[in-house]
């Protein structure tokens, strides 16, 4: 695991001392060593966190043919790749470089099973090639013009490289509206103009001012109806076991973030087969809340003979909030980022690798909205019961009816935001934004991912994987863990699992009122009843509690102030109506307030 950065110029390379400063901004991602190389017109380097091949694997890799490589992440199938090219090493970095130099960069990437962002430079061709893993677990950002190409694992380092090149950095105001709709900034755009995220499963080629991006893998939802339910269970069980096994390949102590839910409990069970020294960690809040799952997790760990530690959050929510603002380069309104930071900080004192259950909902169909999508035709009949009453309040007993009605009467892309965030949408743009006509639509971002051939459920899951998962969950987990030099590994994000699940009948995911039907059928008799019988609890901070108490004063001081920085872009009078309860009561007002608070704190920190 590392932080990587690089620069190309058609004139001179950056001064090495300056480049080292930009690279050092990634030190939290790789505190063990800093290494970089320079030629007449490029700089390339890493901040390394030693996980595999502790005495080897230093970067950048290079040879006398003018080939250079840096990478961030982990190649889980490196032993198998090594055998296929007759090359022995206990370092995934060494094997990756050997593979690329033998097979070529573009022919090599599709062979990798892992999470990665890779940069390769061929001096003779004067060409940079960048690649990112299939799900987008590891970040990679870039900037380019005719004379310059810059990249880095995090925006803070890329901004420094731009400053060293005297390139102006401007706020992307369109991203602000998109953030207010999605609760994050959907990739590939960022909060800054002309800084982009490399899309997942993509290879970028930059040669003398010309840039091209191509995909090397895509989700395929074509169904294979010949796979029986029993065969599917066996296929998935074997693949989950292997996905966990290869993610335990590391030369350092490993842990597992264990909640009380199905996903991390399945990972715990499978991991215990290969490593009974695995440490498990669960968060506990200092007051009673629906989010406390510590006792269930403790039972699960005991069941499988794993060590367990309950992490009590002793930092105040305000302290965690300030930590989140400094950690994330962009506004991120996912409140679960706060406990993730707390877990990573404590776990970092004991382990360097943490497994988790991320991706389970997107893979197996765990969200409530998937039940709605699967049964959308049946649920559409609820509109005939609207005579029973109506309400604009999402928490009223009729709020659900109204929401279902809005979903059934709308189409993608608007429908996606109705299914998911419960925040703002394009229909609110003219009211909530100053100079609204100068802002781009938020829903237009979804159009490239729409496919009329997909069912309602597949379309929703596809959008989730390219928006909520990519720009929300994966960003949150990567930044929170790497802030404390911990490598987060997610077995359910193994692309082989997605290839199988995409081909299966929808009834294997959602059956009746049962979500994650296939996963639960496999493991229902193997997990503690405390897990299998408990109500699903999403891993979120107790946001309503915090808004009413811990964050109340700071919201009053900042967001209620008409001179707040957010009102450069947002209509204060419209937000005042939300404060008074006169508008937007059909939305999640706690999410909206939190997103406004995060944006204001981010602007204070960065403007």
Q: What is the pLDDT of residues 333-379, one digit of tens each?
A: 999 999 889 889 988 998 999 999 999 999 999 999 999 999 988 87
Q: What's the mean pLDDT in 495-517? A: 96
When mean pLDDT is compared across 303-307, 324-328, 536-540, the lowest value belongs to 536-540
The answer to whether residues 160 and 51 belong to one domain is: yes
Does residue 546 carry a pLDDT above 60?
A: yes
Catalytic residues: 2
Q: Which residue has the higher pLDDT, 49 or 338?
A: 338
**pLDDT number for residue 291:** 55
Task: Give the C-alpha separation, 279 to 57, whole Å.
Answer: 26
Q: Is the pLDDT of residue 397 over 70?
A: no
Mean pLDDT of 480-487: 96
Does residue 244 have a known ligand-binding role?
Answer: no
* 3-class secondary structure, 372: helix
The pTM of the whole model exceeds 0.75: yes
Does the pLDDT value for residue 390 go beyond 90?
Answer: no
Give pLDDT, residue 293.
78
Q: Which residues, at least 6 apart from 412, have a Cβ–Cβ distance to it below 8 Å?
A: 446, 450, 459, 463
Which CATH number covers residue 495? 3.40.50.620
Report the candidate in 97, 104, 130 with the shortest Cα–Cα distance to residue 116: 130
Taking the CA atoms of the chain, what radius of gyration do you get in angstroms?
Answer: 24
- Which of these three, 506, 532, 558, is where a domain ends? 532
pLDDT in tens, 74-90: 999 999 999 999 999 99
Do 202 and 233 have their domain in common? Answer: no
Does residue 605 sit within a domain? no
Average pLDDT over residues 453-481: 97
260 and 141 in a common domain: no
Among the candidates 158, 182, 215, a domain finishes at 215
Residue 7, domain member (yes or no):
yes
pLDDT confidence of residue 586: 85
Domain final residue, candidates 514, 532, 550: 532
Q: What does the alpha-carbon distance between residue 30 and residue 74 come to, in Å, rounded to a whole number?
A: 13
What the block records as the tokens of 151 is 């990249």
In terms of domains, do 124 and 178 share one?
yes
| DSSP code at position 469 | I
Is residue 426 in some structural domain? no
Residue 68 is part of a domain; what is its CATH number? 3.60.20.10
Residues 116 and 47 in one domain: yes
Distance CA 559, CA 467 (A): 27
Cis, peptide link before residue 413, omega less than 30° from 0: yes
Sole residue written with tokens 């039940």: 371
pLDDT per residue over 16-27, tens digit each?
999 999 999 999
Residue 186 has pLDDT above 90, yes or no: yes
| d(C-alpha 138, C-alpha 114), whole Å | 10
Please indicate, yes or no, whether residues 140 and 257 belong to a single structural domain of this protein: no
* SS3 of 392-456: CCCCCCCHHHHHHHHHHCCCCCHHHHHHCCCCCCHHHHHHHECCHHHCCCCHHHHHHHCCCCCCH
User: Could you tell me if residue 561 is inside a domain?
Assistant: no
Q: Residue 535's CB: how many other CB atoms inside 10 A?
A: 7
CA distances, 471 to each of 143, 344, 386, 421, 605 (Å): 19, 20, 36, 13, 21
The pLDDT > 70 percentage for the chain reads 94
Does some domain include residue 423? no
Residue 92 is labelled as binding a ligand: yes
| 225 has pLDDT over 90 | yes
Rounded Cα gap, residues 584 and 470, in angstroms: 27
**Two tokens, residue 535:** 């109500």
Whether the CB-CB separation of 522 and 532 falls below 8 Å is answered with: no
pLDDT tens digits, one per residue of 92-106: 999 999 999 999 999
pLDDT value at residue 594: 97
**pLDDT > 80? residue 282:** yes
Q: What is the mean pLDDT of the chain?
A: 93
The number of distinct structural domains making up the chain is 2
Give the integer Cα–Cα distance in Å for 314 and 7.
42
In DSSP notation, 33-81 reads: EEEEEE-SSEEEEEEE---SSTTS--SSEE-TTSEEEEEEEEETTHHHH
Q: Are residues 240 and 162 in the same domain?
A: no
For residue 601, pLDDT beyond 60:
yes
Quick check: is 413 in a domain? no
The end-to-end CA distance of the chain, in Å, is: 31
- What are the pLDDT digits (tens) for 114-171? 999 999 999 999 999 999 999 999 999 999 999 999 999 999 999 999 999 999 999 9
Range of the domain at 167: 2-215
Whether residue 312 is predicted with pLDDT greater than 60 in this model: the reply is yes
210 and 151 within one domain: yes
Q: What is the largest CA-CA distance in the chain?
A: 78
């Amino acid at each position: 695991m590392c932080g990587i950065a690089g620069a190309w110029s058609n004139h001179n390379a950056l001064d090495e001392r300056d480049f080292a400063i930009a690279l050092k901004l990634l030190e939290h991602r790789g505190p063990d060593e800093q290494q970089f190389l320079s030629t007449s017109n490029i700089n390339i380097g890493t901040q390394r966190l030693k996980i595999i091949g502790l005495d080897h694997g230093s970067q950048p890799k290079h040879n006398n043919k003018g080939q250079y490589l840096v990478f961030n992440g982990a190649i889980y199938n490196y032993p198998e790749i090594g055998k296929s090219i007759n090359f022995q090493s206990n370092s995934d970095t060494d094997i990756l470089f050997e593979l690329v130099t033998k097979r070529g960069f573009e022919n090599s990437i599709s062979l990798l099973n892992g999470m990665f962002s890779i940069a390769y430079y061929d001096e003779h061709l004067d060409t940079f090639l960048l690649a990112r893993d299939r799900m987008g677990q590891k970040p990679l950002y870039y900037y380019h013009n005719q004379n310059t190409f810059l990249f880095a694992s995090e925006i803070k380092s890329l901004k420094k490289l731009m400053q060293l090149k005297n390139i102006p950095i401007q706020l992307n105001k369109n991203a602000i509206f998109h953030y207010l709709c999605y609760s994050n900034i959907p990739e590939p755009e960022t909060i800054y103009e002309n800084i982009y995220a490399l899309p997942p499963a993509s290879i970028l080629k930059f040669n003398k001012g010309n840039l091209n991006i191509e995909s090397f893998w895509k989700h395929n939802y074509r169904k294979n109806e010949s796979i029986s339910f029993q065969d599917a269970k066996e296929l998935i069980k074997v693949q989950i076991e292997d996905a966990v096994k290869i993610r335990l390949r590391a030369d350092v102590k490993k842990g597992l973030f264990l909640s009380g839910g199905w996903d991390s409990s399945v990972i715990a069970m499978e991991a215990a087969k290969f490593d009974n020294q695995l440490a498990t960690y669960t968060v506990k809040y200092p007051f009673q809340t629906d989010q406390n799952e510590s006792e269930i997790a403790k039972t699960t760990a005991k069941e499988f003979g794993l060590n367990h530690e309950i992490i009590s959050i002793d930092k105040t929510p305000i302290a965690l909030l300030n930590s989140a603002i400094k950690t994330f380069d962009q506004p991120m309104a996912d409140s679960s980022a706060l406990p993730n930071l707390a877990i990573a900080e404590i776990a970092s004192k004991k382990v360097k690798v943490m497994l988790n259950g991320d991706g389970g909902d997107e893979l197996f169909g765990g969200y409530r909205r998937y039940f709605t999508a699967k049964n959308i035709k049946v649920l559409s009949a609820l509109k005939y019961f609207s005579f029973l009453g109506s309400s604009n309040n999402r928490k009223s007993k009729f709020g659900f009816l109204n929401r279902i009605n809005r979903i059934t009467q709308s189409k993608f892309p608007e429908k996606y935001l109705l299914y998911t965030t419960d925040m703002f949408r394009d229909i609110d743009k003219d009211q909530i934004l100053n100079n609204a006509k100068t802002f781009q639509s938020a829903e237009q971002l979804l159009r490239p991912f729409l496919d009329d051939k997909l069912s309602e459920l597949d379309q929703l899951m596809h959008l989730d994987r390219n928006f909520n998962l990519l720009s929300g969950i994966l960003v949150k987990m990567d930044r929170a863990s790497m802030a404390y030099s911990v490598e987060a590994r997610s077995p359910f994000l193994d692309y082989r699992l997605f290839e199988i699940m995409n081909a299966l009948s929808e009834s294997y995911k959602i059956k009746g009122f049962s979500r994650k039907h296939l996963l639960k059928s496999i493991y229902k008799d193997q997990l503690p009843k405390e897990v299998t019988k408990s109500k699903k609890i999403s891993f979120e901070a107790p946001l309503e509690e915090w808004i009413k108490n811990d964050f109340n004063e700071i919201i009053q001081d900042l967001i209620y102030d008409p001179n707040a920085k957010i009102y450069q872009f947002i209509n204060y009078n419209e937000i005042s109506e939300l404060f008074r309860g006169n508008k937007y009561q059909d939305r999640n007002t706690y999410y909206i307030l939190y997103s406004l608070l995060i944006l204001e704190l981010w602007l204070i920190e960065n403007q």
